[in-house]
């Protein structure tokens, strides 16, 4: 399968409502996203997460509403049904929170292969 990395972070704090572009970074190497897990700090009905590649949604409306049931997106690499997502070197990967309540923190783990490896 190649070299897999996990990009993990928690975002949000008291008094803040997460929204569009709540987190973003530029990747220096090509990546292939093969899995994502999202989990809120509390039940937050309607909360979904989008992952964007240079402003275009590549994984959208990932359910992050239930503290006890993490939202998952899995490519065929991990036994799921989704097509892996290739991200070019130099791309800006950004994250949006849709319908987030104030004070909700969201944990996100993105599993990716280093390089363009959709096969």
* Residue 77: inside a domain: yes
Q: 1 pLDDT exceeds 70?
A: no
* Residue 119: inside a domain: no
Residue 115: CB atoms within 10 A of its CB come to 13
* Residue 104: inside a domain: yes
Which domain, by its residues, includes 12? 4-114
Task: Report the number of distinct structural domains present in the chain.
Answer: 1
* Residue 62: inside a domain: yes
More confident residue, 14 or 95: 95
CATH of the domain at 96: 2.60.120
* Residue 83: inside a domain: yes
DSSP SS3 for 106? strand
* Residue 56: inside a domain: yes
Percent of the chain residues topping a pLDDT of 70: 96
Which of 1-5, 68-72, 76-80 is predicted least confidently?
A: 1-5
């Amino acid at each position: 399968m190649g070299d897999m990395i996990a990009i993990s972070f928690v975002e949000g704090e008291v008094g803040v409502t997460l929204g569009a572009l709540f987190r973003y970074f530029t990747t220096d190497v090509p990546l292939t996203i093969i899995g994502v897990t999202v989990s809120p700090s509390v039940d937050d009905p309607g909360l979904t997460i989008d992952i964007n590649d240079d402003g275009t949604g590549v994984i959208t409306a990932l359910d992050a509403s239930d503290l006890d049931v993490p939202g998952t997106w899995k490519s065929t690499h991990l036994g799921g049904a989704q097509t892996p997502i290739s991200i070019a070197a130099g791309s800006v990967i950004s994250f949006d929170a849709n319908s987030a309540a104030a004070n909700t923190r969201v944990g996100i783990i993105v599993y990716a292969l280093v390089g363009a490896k959709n096969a």
